[in-house]
Amino acid sequence: MADRDELPPIDDEEAGVMGLTEVDPSPVEETPVEYREKSYFPDQQRDGNGNGEGDGDTEELRGIRRINTLGLRLGDHGPAWWLVRIQKYSSYAFATFTALHVANVSLIPLATRSVLDSNRYLLLTRPFYQSTLTEPLLVGIPLVAHITSGIALRLYRRRQALQRYGAETKRDRRTIPWPVITGTSALGYALVPFAGFHIWTTRILPLYAHGDSSLINLSYISHGFASHPFVSFAGFTALVGVGVWHFVWGAAKWLNLAPSQVKASESQKSLVRKRRWYVINGISAAIATLWLAGSLGVVGRDGKVEGWIGREFDDLYKYIPFLGR
């Protein structure tokens, strides 16, 4: 009792033993006091109007927020996000060229049933996608961007896997598998040599051999089918088949309609996956059949070109190693 009498007097009735006041517990505020003026996360900082442009923002931060209003959100995404977007939107640009190209080499010949008449339409539409401006924008740049972004994305994910599992030696890296190649990616890799050969024979080779590609039309293709039927029919069928299945499955993925993208909340998921698989392959088969009907059924059966133009075509085909004699 003597020790208790020596304690200092307590003015507050609710004060504790050490002179601290006991208070009732209260909910913690959402924003701590030290973060009210400047948030820990810059993109979460908001002013009174909720537009995120406080008085303490720098010019760089305001610029980032202005970009965010456009939906780009540069500061929120890593390399994988950007590589996927490059691969996606480059395919949109190349799809525009593909639609025009299919119309010229397949749909118009199928409608006119004549290579000669189809060549006239080809000459009319060629300036729209083979000019010095549109060809790089619709073909060259999108094609290179699509392929390189896909390879870079695969290498980046491989690097992430090595860092995640702490692979330091070559032996450690061998134990970690590479990212799985999907069916769409495998078709894309298989399409590269076919598309490259087609571009070389129809665009690069005429420029190299004759300095000009104005003679290249559907008659050049039909001349090749007549002169080298097995290689032409087999190669073109493989080009169309692989290309169409890659395009359609890729489009389904971009639209979130692939079988692997069925939502977990979806009822009868297995049935939805199966239905999507059949629909995607059915669309692919229909497009490939339509493409081949005009290209092989009309252009491929037109025969050789006679005269000096035919001899020019023969000279071009002689540059191809496995076709030249």
Instruction: Find out whether 187 and 245 touch, Cβ atoms under 8 Å.
Output: yes
Compute the average pLDDT of residues 276-287: 97
Pairwise CA distance, residues 313 & 223, whole Å: 7
Q: Is the pLDDT of residue 110 over 90?
A: yes
What is the widest separation between alpha-carbon atoms in the chain? 128
Compute the average pLDDT of residues 279-290: 96
Pairwise CA distance, residues 173 & 158, whole Å: 10
**19 vs 307, residue with greater confidence:** 307
The pLDDT value recorded for residue 70 is 43
The pLDDT value recorded for residue 238 is 96
Pick the most confident of 110-124, 174-188, 242-256: 242-256
Which token pair is 152?
């870079």
- Model confidence at 47, in pLDDT bands (50, 70, 90)? very low
DSSP 125-171: HHHHHSSTTHHIIIIIHHHHHHHHHHHHHHHHHHHHHHHHTT--SHH
The pLDDT value recorded for residue 324 is 56
Number of separate helices (H) and strands (E) present in the chain? 14, 0
Pairwise CA distance, residues 90 & 84, whole Å: 10
Q: Give backbone dihedrals phi and psi of 111, rounded to 5 degrees, phi first.
A: -80, -40
Q: Is the pLDDT of residue 258 over 70?
A: yes
- Model confidence at 173, in pLDDT bands (50, 70, 90)? confident
What is the pTM assigned to this prediction? 0.74
Pairwise CA distance, residues 289 & 95, whole Å: 18
Pairwise CA distance, residues 88 & 43, whole Å: 27
Q: Is the pLDDT of residue 151 over 50?
A: yes
Compute the average pLDDT of residues 28-56: 45
- Of the given ranges (18-27, 150-159, 252-261, 273-282), which has the lowest mean pLDDT? 18-27
- Model confidence at 64, in pLDDT bands (50, 70, 90)? very low
CA distances (Å), origin 195, targets 116, 120, 132, 188, 256: 25, 25, 20, 10, 26
3-class DSSP assignment, residue 213: coil
Q: For the chain, what percent of residues have pLDDT higher than 70? A: 76
What's the residue count for the chain? 325
CA distances (Å), origin 180, targets 161, 175, 248, 251: 12, 15, 20, 20
Q: Is the pLDDT of residue 4 over 50?
A: yes
Compute the average pLDDT of residues 103-125: 91
Q: What is the pLDDT of residues 18-40, one digit of tens each?
A: 555 555 555 544 444 444 444 43
Q: Is the pLDDT of residue 41 over 50?
A: no
Pairwise CA distance, residues 252 & 210, whole Å: 41
